[in-house]
Amino acid sequence: MARGFLFEARQRRFTFDGEHYFVDLVFYNRLLRCYVLIDLKLGKLAHQDLGQMQMYVNYFDREEKLKAESPTIGIILCKQKNKAMVRITLPKDANIHAREYQLYLPSKEELQRKLVSGRQIGRRAMSDAAGVR
């Protein structure tokens, strides 16, 4: 993880009306001054996963965070993401993000291709920003 992250809990449980819910990982970021919740999904992201994370974020914002702290961030790591479903399901101002993960690193050749491609994109962006054609 990046700077400022503090691990708080794994499988953090909270209960509503006798039903137990568990968020996979709870971190606190000292620099952002907010909770960061991470839920791990083994398969394709479903709209229920987004609703569940929204509930977790709402709970932490209403019950755990202090007034001086920033809003909670929710991150769902999944094997496959449906961008259109995420865009339609979540409000525009939602502090919830879905990202795909890979079980294995790409090959050395694939990493090199991505690095070269990223450098070319970066050079073009810098040229465009400087007004160079």
More confident residue, 3 or 51: 51
- Beta-sheet strands, E only, within the chain: 5-16, 19-29, 34-40, 73-78, 96-100
pLDDT in tens, 29-82: 999 999 999 999 888 888 898 889 999 999 999 999 999 999 999 999 988 887
More confident residue, 23 or 128: 23
pLDDT at 109 over 90: no
More confident residue, 118 or 15: 15
Mean pLDDT of 82-102: 80
CA dihedral 116, 118, 124, 128 (to 10 degrees): -160
* % residues pLDDT > 90 (the chain): 39
Q: What is the mean pLDDT of the chain?
A: 85
- Which range of 11-20, 75-84, 88-97, 98-107 scores highest in mean pLDDT? It is 11-20
Q: Give the C-alpha separation, 95 to 101, whole Å.
A: 19
- Please compute Rg for the chain using Cα positions: 18
